[in-house]
Amino acid sequence: MKTFRILLVFAALLSTAPALARVQIRIDLGAQRLTAMRGDGETVVWKISSGRPGYETPTGSYSVMRMEADHHSDEYDQAPMPYAIFFSPRGLAIHGSFERGLGRPASHGCVRLSVANAQKLYQWVEEQGGASIEIVGETRSAARRGPRVERPRFSGRPPVRDADSADVVLESVSRY
């Protein structure tokens, strides 16, 4: 009976080991930095480019949904997304980029890294059996703009109004 209990405890420890060893990824949108820490404590800090205005990277806590070492975007003309770590049902990922100028918002919501850094992060997540991803802050451009306001969208033509509604609008404007 004692041996059976020891085996159960040992099995429980083994089943929780990968969860403890997972990579912790923290993305700071304001600083445009990604910090990743392995289970053994090794930590890296890299420049990123997150979503540009109108395509902001969402904040929150995420986990890895899937990974693809050689992904190409179906939405953006087969743009390369090497070492993609997908974290959102919307198809957002942390991935490598051949674009220059990391350190400022530039993407359609994904988190871009240099290809070499994306490869290292990808390997860490594979080796450690997953990752927790926390995205915090807001981009400086979003902070300057203030809260997002929904505006009505029109087709290329101006809205059609009948004479009565136009008179009401003109009459109410002339009172101010």
The tokens describing 19, both together, are 């969860």
pLDDT of residue 159: 43
Q: Which residue has the tokens 């990752």?
A: 131
Q: Which strand (E) or helix (H) includes residue 134? A: strand 131-136
Band of pLDDT at residue 72, cut at 50, 70 and 90: confident
Rounded CA gap, 42 and 97, in Å? 23
- Residue 114 φ/ψ region, left for φ over 0, alpha for ψ in the -120 to 50 degree band, beta for the rest: beta
Identify the weakest region by mean pLDDT among 17-31, 34-48, 99-113, 128-142. 17-31
Is the per-residue pLDDT at 168 higher than 60? no
The pTM assigned to this predicted structure is 0.69
The predicted model gives 51-64 an average pLDDT of 96
The CA distance from 38 to 158, in Å, is 56
Q: Number of C-alpha atoms within 13 angstroms, CB side, residue 127? A: 12
Give the per-residue pLDDT at 75: 80
Using pLDDT thresholds of 50, 70 and 90, give the confidence band for residue 55.
Answer: very high
* Residue-level pLDDT at 145: 53
Percent of the chain with pLDDT over 90: 59
Alpha-carbon distance 87 to 65, whole Å? 5
